Amino acid sequence: MARYFKKSVMSLAGYEPPPQERVRAKLNQNESPFDLPEEFKREVLAEAAALSWNRYPASESGALKNALAARHRLQPEQILPGNGSNQLLQTLLTAVIEPGDGLLFFPPTFGLFDLFATINGADKTAILCPPGRPFPLEQALAAIRTRVPKLILLCSPDNPTGRALSRPEIEAICQAAPGLVFLDEAYAEFNGWSGLSLLESYPGLILSRTFSKAFCMAGLRLGYLISRPANIAELRKAHLPYTVNLITEHIAVRLLARPELLEERVAWIVRERDWLLGELQEIAGIAAYPSAANFILFRCAECGSLFRRLKERGILVRDVSGYPLLENHLRVNVGSREENLWFLETLKEELS
């Protein structure tokens, strides 16, 4: 195999997806607890049946770009849709990073940052950010001055910690950056603030959004990048054509016309998240961190054993103890009230 594949790939363990089986409470992939309404599904699928499935979709997803541009008050040329934000992150690294180029990121954070950086041969600088402590801004600015990274990867709210960066922190990094700044905003709808307002001031800023979380469309795979038209034009050159299938595009456009549905569900999840955090913080042996996303990170003793016992009882959470600084940490996403009560009841029983 070493004769055929990159050394950078051979050295990797690869991405291991978490369990997908049907259980009593599936709280391990930061999905929405809500599916799209049955009436909405029937309507859009009936409309999709009238589309020509034997033809390629529009490569540029024009209707989708127009709808997203209207939502964010941008120009369609500022948007690049793709088959999930993960694929768009791969496009970004492919377009920007050559072997030896400097890249700065802040673990524990989204695992694909490190994976794609390694595959593309980046010269990585990692500044550790312990959960529950302030973002190390001064250390980050010092690294930017000394390492001169071509690309800086940020995630806010961060996965798996739930930390949200402030506007002054992001601005300070954008002002100091000699190259591009990528801001993953997969959970922005649960935070209330977005880097969208910084796009006009910082030409090297690129944002990423997804339909997998707040939009309840994880199974349909849709994400998009937002930046200045010149950046999007270059990224498009490295982007695979026809990555958004016509049915996903059609459903997304129809869903964007129903903003009240999104707003109701996001508001419910935020209230439930804050309630769930309060409940976890009352449990002896648990240290739960505040979150700006739709999940909560918590520390507990012997988390591997607890993870297995919860799974045996039909409660799936995410074991994130393999991340830097997160030994004995688990992550649970906000489910339905019934799922959250099952989780809390089972967790208390197992800890006792």
- Position 99: which residue type? P
Has residue 21 got a pLDDT over 70?
no
What is the Cα–Cα distance from 202 to 180, expressed in whole angstroms? 9
Has residue 237 got a pLDDT over 80?
yes
Confidence band for 23, pLDDT divided at 50, 70 and 90? confident
Q: What is the pLDDT of residue 19?
A: 64
Q: What is the pLDDT of residue 263?
A: 93
254 and 282 in a single domain? The answer is no
275 and 244 in a single domain? The answer is no
**Helix or strand run (H / E) with residue 331:** strand 329-333
Specify the number of domains making up the chain. 2
Q: What is the pLDDT of residue 267?
A: 97
- Mean pLDDT (the chain, rounded): 94
Determine the structural domain holding residue 279 and report its residue range.
19-36+260-351
66 and 198 in a single domain? The answer is yes
CATH number for the domain that contains residue 296: 3.90.1150.10
Has residue 332 got a pLDDT over 90?
yes
Task: Tell me: cis bond preceding 37? Omega within 30 of 0 counts.
Answer: no
Flag whether 151 is in a domain: yes
pLDDT digits (tens, 9 = 90+) for 249-277: 999 999 999 999 899 999 999 999 999 99
What are the CA-CA distances from residue 104 to residues 61, 163, 177, 186, 323 (Å)?
32, 18, 10, 19, 17
Name which of 297, 351, 284 is nearest 327 in CA terms.
297
Q: What is the pLDDT of residue 10?
A: 82
CATH number for the domain that contains residue 113: 3.40.640.10
Q: What is the pLDDT of residue 20?
A: 61
Q: What is the pLDDT of residue 17?
A: 66
Flag whether 158 is in a domain: yes
54 and 191 in a single domain? The answer is yes
